[in-house]
Amino acid sequence: MRPDSASPVLPFLIACAGIATFSAMDVLMKGLSIELGAYNAVLWRTGTGTIVAGLIYFASRPKWPDKATMQIHAWRSLFVSGMALSFFWALARLPMAEAIALAFVAPLMALYMAAIFLGEKIGPRSIAASVLGLAGVIVIVAGKLGGNDYSDEALLAVGAVFLSAIFYAYNLILARRQAKMAEPMEIAFFQNFFVAAILALGAPWFLAVPDASHAPHILGAAILATTSLLLLSWAYARAETQILATTEYTGFLWAMLFGWFFFDEAVTLPTFAGALLIVAACLIVARKAPHGDPIEPAAA
């Protein structure tokens, strides 16, 4: 089992970079989900990602994963499939900043799932940071959603985001276990491969071949998603879930910027206030002193 870093600061910063890269991928995936549908957007992105990651992975002549590692690759990919489909279906129907903000219940869930599934001790600083970050999300959502009327489909999209958040919270737990057992490039390849394989089961009913004009966005999304996965896998192998989960909140800062730049979404005072609370939460948890790795080899 790979030991944690002596300080959580570098893994925390690497995880922040992974979230930023993932947020940039969301911009491309929102457009693809609107034009192709969430199923085809995710299927073609992960299929392309399998090729991109596979070229790099097999060029290094890797040792084939053992049975336990292969099982966790497949198991996590099952939850990633559900997470991606529900989130990008919602993203095609909600403004980007709103969807990201609503999804921020996931890190809060992950803190407590870490205690259940990984045996991590949840310290008062991590609890305070999660509550502060959640308060920031509430401020943002109240300012952005308050008083607006939504269609039935938009309300279903809100429910889809929360479903995605449940999948994502457990995905964070699995990411910690997986990162302890495999190298980032191995994780990137097998996650793309298994997700594409799982989604391909629905191809006879849902598959649509995209126009050639979509190819650059599909390739770009695949490269960004793979890069994000590499960065996050490296970070989760070296710091606990409760430290890194709060970096998810920085995704709203990117959603705020990308939403304004690409989709002309206004940035309001509640958005700034909530963002400040989120940044404060991240700074609090980043200063947390790490303790021993609670994961026993048998549990991983």
Question: DSSP letter string over the chain?
Answer: -PPPPSSSHHHHHHHHHHHHHHHHHHHHHHHHHHHH-HHHHHHHHHHHHHHHHHHHHHHT-PPPP-HHHHHHHHHHHHHHHHHHHHHHHHHTTS-HHHHHHHTTHHHHHHHHHIIIII-----HHHHHHHHHHHHHHHHHHHHHHTT----HHHHHHHHHHHHHHHHHHHHHHHHHHHHHHS-HHHHHHHHHHHHHHHHHTTHHHH--PPPGGGHHHHHHHHHHHHHHHHHHHHHHTTS-HHHHGGGGGHHHHHHHHHHHHHH-----HHHHHHHHHHHHHHHHHHTPPP------TTT-
Please compute the mean of the pLDDT values over residues 12-22 and round it to a whole number.
92
Question: How high is the pLDDT of residue 292?
Answer: 43
The answer on pLDDT for 37 being more than 90 is yes
Average pLDDT, the chain: 83
What's the pLDDT score for residue 291? 45
pTM: 0.81
pLDDT above 50 (res 219):
yes
pLDDT higher than threshold 90 for residue 21: yes
Higher pLDDT, 48 or 145: 48
Q: What mean pLDDT is predicted for residues 42-58?
A: 95
Given this model, what pLDDT does residue 101 score? 79
User: What are 161-193's pLDDT values in tens digits?
Assistant: 889 988 988 887 787 778 778 888 999 999 999
The span from the CA of 7 to the CA of 158, in Å, is: 37
pLDDT at residue number 297: 27
Question: Residues 88-103: what's their mean pLDDT?
Answer: 86
Alpha carbon 167 to its chain centroid, in Å, reads 10
Q: Give the model's confidence band at 269: pLDDT under 50 very low, under 70 low, under 90 confident, else very high.
A: confident
| pLDDT of 293 | 39
**Which residues have C-beta within 8 Å of that of residue 111, sequence separation ≥ 6?**
122, 126, 127, 130, 241, 242, 245
Supply the pLDDT for residue 198: 97
pLDDT digits (tens, 9 = 90+) for 146-159: 655 556 677 788 88
pLDDT-above-90 percentage for the chain: 40
